[in-house]
């Protein structure tokens, strides 16, 4: 029978704790912030005095701290998880961190007979509260099967991305695409304003004429039969339209770095395809 612990019960960790408690799971919790630990106790968690104490009492250990440094400190540092974890325990790294940090933790854990998976979360606290986050998991198939029931108590889906650290990479890929959309819309709004179009009107136009993303038809754009993800270059948008937008931005005196890079990348793809 698995025993569950959570290290880090702030904005996201406390929500995971709520879901586990609602499912009737007993949880040992620790946070270096006294107020967070008090909230965890109010949710019915058994509060611990350190990360080590959580590990001593549990077999599944959710780590929900924010930075790479915090992950390393609470797992490999003084009174950390690895000072208390028993052989056969499993650490779940939920933080958005560098894959190198995950490998460092896994190597240290292996020496203690402890396993590690990266189980990165897709979704904000608002989404997490409704139980609709998705976990991107990196690790061996048997470990993923072991943690899947546990993760599904806290979210809606578990996607096995591949071996250890692929959950980290998958999360960064997802955030890259999401963040890039916001940034390119910002540059588009600035171009609209410079050309005499109210930026709100431009964004509303984009909303009204929205026909879905490339992801809706990615199999047509990025041929899954090929090992190379390069998209087809025979599109006016690469050869003409994006470079024209970049030219217009320069003429308006705007420094639209993403637009400039997109124009250069698109033309580079066109040239590479011509050489094939």
| pLDDT tens digits along 172-200 | 999 999 999 999 999 999 999 999 999 99
Backbone angles phi, psi at 93, to 5 degrees: -95, 110
Regarding whether 155 and 272 lie in a shared domain, the answer is no
Place of tokens 């996607």: 159
- Which range marks the domain in which residue 236 is found? 216-276
Regarding whether 105 and 23 lie in a shared domain, the answer is yes
Spatial distance between the Cα atoms of 4 and 119, rounded to a whole number of angstroms: 15
Structural domain contains residue 276: yes
Regarding whether 144 and 222 lie in a shared domain, the answer is no
Regarding whether 228 and 130 lie in a shared domain, the answer is no
Those residues of the chain that have pLDDT short of 70 are 233-235
Structural domain contains residue 191: no
Q: Is 47 helix (H, G, I), strand (E, B) or coil?
A: strand
- Whole-Å CA distances, 264 to 180, 229, 257, 267: 16, 18, 11, 5
Residue 123: per-residue pLDDT? 93
Spatial distance between the Cα atoms of 176 and 101, rounded to a whole number of angstroms: 19
Regarding whether 256 and 164 lie in a shared domain, the answer is no
Q: How many domains does the chain have?
A: 2
270 with 263: CB under 8 angstroms?
A: no
Backbone angles phi, psi at 259, to 5 degrees: -60, -45
Regarding whether 239 and 117 lie in a shared domain, the answer is no
Structural domain contains residue 193: no
Tell me the pTM: 0.92
Helix axes 166-194, 199-208, angle to 10 degrees: 120
Q: Parallel, antiparallel, or unpaired for β 134-138 and 157-162?
A: parallel
> Which strands, in side-by-side order, build the sheet including 157-162?
46-47, 27-30, 4-7, 60-63, 90-93, 115-122, 134-138, 157-162
Regarding whether 29 and 160 lie in a shared domain, the answer is yes
Q: pLDDT tens digits for 80-115?
A: 999 999 999 999 999 999 999 999 999 999 999 999
Last residue of a domain, one of 133, 150, 170: 170
Regarding whether 146 and 239 lie in a shared domain, the answer is no
Last residue of a domain, one of 132, 153, 170: 170
């Amino acid at each position: 029978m698995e025993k569950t612990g959570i290290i880090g019960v702030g904005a996201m960790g406390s929500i995971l704790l709520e879901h586990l408690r609602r499912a009737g799971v007993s949880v040992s919790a620790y946070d270096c912030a006294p107020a967070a630990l008090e909230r965890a106790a109010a949710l019915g968690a058994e509060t611990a005095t350190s990360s080590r104490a959580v590990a001593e009492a549990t077999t599944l250990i959710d780590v929900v701290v924010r930075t790479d440094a915090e992950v390393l400190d609470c797992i490999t540092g003084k009174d950390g998880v690895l000072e208390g974890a028993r052989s056969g325990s499993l650490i779940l790294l939920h933080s958005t961190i560098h894959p190198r940090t995950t490998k460092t933790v896994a190597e240290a854990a292996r020496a203690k007979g402890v396993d590690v998976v990266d189980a990165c979360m897709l979704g904000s606290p608002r989404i997490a509260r409704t139980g609709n986050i998705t976990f991107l998991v990196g690790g061996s198939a048997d470990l993923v099967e072991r943690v899947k029931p546990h993760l599904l108590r806290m979210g809606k889906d578990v996607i096995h991305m591949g071996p250890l650290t692929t959950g980290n990479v998958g999360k960064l890929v997802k955030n890259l695409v999401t963040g890039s959309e916001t940034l390119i819309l910002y540059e588009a709004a600035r171009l609209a304003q410079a050309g005499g179009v109210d930026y709100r009107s431009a964004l509303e136009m984009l909303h009204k004429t929205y026909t879905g993303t490339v992801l809706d038809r990615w199999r047509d754009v990025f041929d899954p039969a090929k090992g190379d993800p390069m998209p087809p270059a025979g599109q006016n948008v690469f050869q003409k339209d994006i470079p024209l937008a970049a030219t217009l931005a320069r003429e308006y005196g705007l420094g639209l770095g993403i637009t400039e890079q997109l124009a250069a990348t698109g033309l580079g793809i066109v040239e590479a395809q011509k050489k094939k």
